[in-house]
Amino acid sequence: MFTKTKKGQLEIGITTMVLAVFVVLLLISMVVYFRFTYLEFEDTKEEILDQKYSGLLNVISGMPEFRCSKNGAEDECLDASKLYNFKQKILKDEIEDYYDNIFGNANGIWIDVIDPFSGNNHYLNSEFFGIYGEKETKGLIYSVPVSIYYPDYKKYKIGILKIQGEL
């Protein structure tokens, strides 16, 4: 009788230990699973943001808000007189929300002018045109060269359109 009780207790002990080991293994597996899934989501998010920023360079170059035209005929350039003060005068109130939704992930969008005109004639002499956010903050910079047209002077300059954003 005494031996049977001892055997029973031993078997209970063994079963309990098996269950404990099983639960520990299960918990470790779940932690590993969620960790890997999270990392995969982060990779996908980075990939999508990377595509978004690259695509945004083309989108901005083609937006009628910045595109240059001569007597209604559009050209492959950006209009300096539209770009100048765009951030200060246009990005207000509901319009700011509108562009937040388009550019939202980007920390800053601007155009640096290569070798700007000299003088003190505001839009002609501007060294850069801010479009959205702040210049040179955090994140990777995506850039593309653009042609900038000064309609008053009928002259062109090369600029670099830059988008800075975190992945």
Partner 1 sequence: MALLSNKRGIAVTFNWIFSIVAGVLIFSFLVYFAVQNTDLFGNVTARIVAEELDILLSGYETIQTKSVLDFDKNIELEFYCDNDEQKFKINGETGKTVWDKIIFSPDKIEGSKINVATAPWNVPFRAANFIYIWDKKYNIRDDVGTGVELINNLKGSGKNVLVSQYFDLKCNSGNKGEKVIHYNKDTEEGYICFDGKDDNNPIKFFGEAMLIGAVLSDRDNFECAKNNADEKLNIMKKVFENKKDNLVDAGLCEDNVHLYGIFMNKMNTLTINSINKNTINSLDNLNKDLIAKGCASVY
Binding interface with partner 1 (CB under 8 A):
18, 21-22, 25-26, 28-29, 32-33, 36-37, 40-41, 44, 48, 51-52, 55-56, 58-59, 61-65, 67, 69-72, 74, 79, 81-82, 84-86, 89-90, 95, 98, 101-102, 121-124, 151-153
Q: How far is the CB of 32 from partner 1 (least distance, A)?
A: 5
Q: How far is the CB of 136 from partner 1 (least distance, A)?
A: 24
Q: With respect to partner 1, which residue has the nearer C-beta, 48 or 158?
A: 48
Distance separating alpha carbons of residues 126 and 76, to the nearest angstrom? 20
* Contact call for residues 152 and 166 (beta carbons, < 8 A): no
| Residue 119, phi-psi category: left (phi > 0), alpha (psi -120 to 50), beta (remainder) | left
Residue 134's DSSP bridge partners are none
* Contact call for residues 54 and 142 (beta carbons, < 8 A): yes
Q: With respect to partner 1, which residue has the nearer C-beta, 136 or 150?
A: 150
Distance separating alpha carbons of residues 8 and 67, to the nearest angstrom? 85
Q: How far is the CB of 129 from partner 1 (least distance, A)?
A: 11
Q: With respect to partner 1, which residue has the nearer C-beta, 97 or 136?
A: 97
Q: How far is the CB of 61 from partner 1 (least distance, A)?
A: 7
Distance separating alpha carbons of residues 116 and 98, to the nearest angstrom? 31
Distance separating alpha carbons of residues 6 and 8, to the nearest angstrom? 5
Q: With respect to partner 1, which residue has the nearer C-beta, 123 or 142?
A: 123
